[in-house]
Amino acid sequence: VDAAPAPAFPVPPLDEGELVDGVRVFRLRLETGSVEWVSGFPTATYGANGAFLGPSLHFRRGERVRIEVTNALEVTTTLHWHGMEVPSASDGGPYQTIAAGATWVAELDVTQRAMTAWYHPHQMHETARHVYMGIAGVIVVDDDAQAVELPSTYGVDDLPLVIQDRRFAADGTHPYSPGHTPAMHDMMAGLRGETMLVNGVRQLRGVVPRGLVRLRVLNGSNARAYNLGFGDGRSFVQIAGDGGLLAAPVTTTRMLLAPGASPPKSTSSSARSPGATVALASYSGEVFSQLFTGTMGGNVADALDRTTFELMTFEVGAAPATSLTPPTTLPPIERLTADQATVVRPIVLSMTGPSVAINGARMTELGDAVPAAINFRIPNGTVERWDVSNDSFMLHPLHLHNRHFQILDIDGQPPPIHLAGWKDTVLVAPGQVVRLMVRFDGTSNATLPYMFHCHILEHEDMGMMGQFYLVDP
């Protein structure tokens, strides 16, 4: 009997669920575990159906899915479907708590276009800890009607890359380990670490087939932005933003990925001889002065924010998996226009002293206690323009639940192609004004709201979050 070959490229398992009476059912068990990233010192972890991270869930447009989430942790948590159009009762935000030992069931119709979404906990004040401990996973949304031919063999030439940084002490603990709490500075700056994990693996080295490969890149870090590129300077083709395919492919050598941002897909041509290697790196120093400004910005940035560092290494295998070439065109995208907005809402992101705010307010409790400045009731079907300004000295990635939006303009300029598609998270640099167009529709619910928040998870936990109710018009 031959031993099973080692996986050429470590990826989370693909979970197809199980069809039960026409509904695709997934079962996730949130559990504790440990992983030995520091030799001799196992790190306590959380995971879904395993010690760290969780399976990649395969959703298909047009299907109804049910996810049964069992919380085998010792703490209350939630599980949110980031990037999914979903009724608020199934959103998995801070209102849908799952007590230790309980099972929560989410159901939704997959109505959206093909994209890569993800799932992660969203427990009030505890999101950063639960994600850092390890609960996160990719959602692959497929659409049979999508006419673009792309590498699509999961784990071979269609590869999720879950990028996370971690700060490990010599004993394997980190600032969110049991009994530990991050320092105030790390809450303000967002916790960043020096050890890079890709798919939960330190110094990941993955074998890819020669030729074209699709990468679904997810920045699952609490706070760090990455300015991705390849160590040999090769270009790649960005085909999607966080809300699905772009209107046109963009050939580039860099992709700036906000913390928590859901994953742009990109294809990378590895037309090299077998055995050749190429590093995936972050050229963070190139965008440092854009993402951090002034003395305060310099204080919240760390050494890696100012330099170039490697995340992982690709090794080129022998056999090409496909003879595909990158797409040269993509299906058109309906553009929302400024005149469609019937409501204009200022969204001011700020940091003052040891605090963060949206419109001068913080969300520190649920329900009616949420201040009016960040607590909206939006009639179903309304198109709004959100004028998001960043009055602080560091980037904030603003994320909306349930709805995808489009960038109308950035400091008055139309967005470049790679930012002009549908999005669920937008990186707003200090001093910037980014105007968004959002059509709010879906399932009305006057008692259960959706969240919008900074996706630097420490900021979210400190209250850089608001909510909106989608109500009947």
Structure tokens at 109: 């119709």
Residue partners of 247: CB distance under 8 A and separation at least 6? 330, 331, 332, 333, 417, 420, 421
- The HSE-up count of residue 335 (CA atoms within 13 Å, CB side) is 13
3-state secondary structure of 275: coil
Enter the DSSP assignment of 441: -
CB of 191 to Cu ion, least distance (A): 12
> Can you tell me the distance from the alpha carbon of 164 to that of 196, in angstroms, rounded to the nearest whole number?
6
Rounded least distance, CB 44 to Cu ion, Å: 27
In the complex, minimum distance from the CB of residue 464 to Cu ion, in angstroms, rounded to a whole number: 5
Q: Per rule CB under 5 A, is residue 456 in the interface with Cu ion?
A: yes
Q: Which is nearer to Cu ion, 75 or 398 (CB)?
A: 398
Q: Which of 34, 65, 37 is nearest to 47 (CA)?
A: 34
Residue 453 binding Cu ion, by CB under 5 A: no
Min separation Cβ 165 and Cu ion, Å:
16
Please identify, using beta-carbon distances, which residue of 278 and 347 lies nearer to Cu ion: 347
Q: What is the DSSP string of 280-325?
A: EEEEGGGGHHHHB-HHHHHHH--GGGGSEEEEEEEEE-SS-S----
Q: Among 103-111, 120-128, 312-320, 449-457, which window interacts with Cu ion (CB under 5 A)?
A: 449-457
Residue nearer to Cu ion on the CB measure, 114 or 456: 456
Stretch that binds Cu ion, among 159-167, 227-235, 379-387, 451-459 (CB under 5 A): 451-459
Chain CA centroid to CA 274, Å: 32
- Select 351 or 420, whichever has its Cβ closest to Cu ion: 351
Q: What is the CA radius of gyration of the chain?
A: 21
Question: Which positions from 50 to 69 touch Cu ion by CB under 5 A, shown as an x/- string?
Answer: --------------------
Smallest gap from residue 459 Cβ to Cu ion (A): 3
Shortest reach from residue 454's CB to Cu ion, in Å: 3
Nearer Cβ to Cu ion, position 321 or 464? 464
Closer CB to Cu ion, 121 or 317, in the complex: 121
Residues 179-208 that bind Cu ion (CB under 5 A): none
- Whether 281 contacts 227, CB under 8 Å: no
Measured from the CB atom, the residue of 212 and 225 that comes closer to Cu ion is 225
By CB under 5 A, which span of 135-143, 198-206, 240-248, 446-454 interacts with Cu ion? 446-454
Q: Is the Cβ of residue 85 or residue 458 nearer to Cu ion in the bound state?
A: 458
459 lines the binding site for Cu ion (CB under 5 A): yes
Rank residues 44 and 291 by Cβ distance to Cu ion and give the closer one: 291
What are residue 206's DSSP bridge partners?
314
Q: What is the SS3 assignment for 189?
A: helix
Interaction of residue 454 with Cu ion, rule CB under 5 A: yes
**374-403 binders of Cu ion (CB under 5 A):** 396
Whose Cβ is closer to Cu ion: residue 58's or residue 362's?
Answer: 362
Count of positions on this chain that bind Cu ion (CB under 5 A):
4
Min CB(460)–Cu ion separation in Å:
8
Interface positions, 120-159, toward Cu ion (CB under 5 A): none
CB-CB contact of 373 with 361 (8 Å): yes
Stretch that binds Cu ion, among 100-108, 292-300, 425-433, 448-456 (CB under 5 A): 448-456
In whole angstroms, give the CA distance from residue 269 to residue 153.
Answer: 16
Tell me the one-letter amino acid at 163: I
Q: Are strands 211-219 and 433-440 parallel, antiparallel or unpaired?
A: unpaired
Query: How far, in Å, CA of 128 to CA of 149, rounded?
Result: 37
Structure tokens at 114: 């093909």
Residue 304 has phi, psi (to 5 degrees) of -70, -30
- Minimum Å gap between C-beta 429 and Cu ion is 12
Binding pattern for the stretch 401-440 against Cu ion, x by CB under 5 A and - elsewhere: ----------------------------------------
Closest Cα to residue 198, out of 47, 314, 305? Answer: 314
Smallest gap from Cβ 387 to Cu ion, in A, equals: 17
Q: How far is the CB of 118 from Cu ion (least distance, A)?
A: 19
- Of the pair 113, 396, the CB lying nearest Cu ion is at 396
**Of 249, 256, 215, residue with least CA distance to 426:** 256
What separation in angstroms does the CA of 426 have from each of 217, 301, 415?
Answer: 16, 20, 12
Binding region for Cu ion (CB under 5 A) out of 358-366, 379-387, 435-443, 455-463: 455-463
Tokens of 158: 């269609």
DSSP letter at 402 equals: S
Is residue 246 near Cu ion by the rule CB under 5 A?
A: no
CB of 392 to Cu ion, least distance (A): 8
Closer Cβ to Cu ion, 140 or 349, answer by number = 349
What's the half-sphere exposure (Cβ side, CA atoms, 13 Å) at 342?
A: 8
Residue nearest to Cu ion (CB): 454
Of 102-110, 240-248, 289-297, 458-466, which part binds Cu ion (CB under 5 A)?
A: 458-466
Distance, CA of 380 to CA of 194 (rounded, Å): 44
DSSP annotation string for 330-352: ----PPP-GGG-SEEEEEEEEEE
Residues that bind Cu ion (CB under 5 A): 396, 454, 456, 459
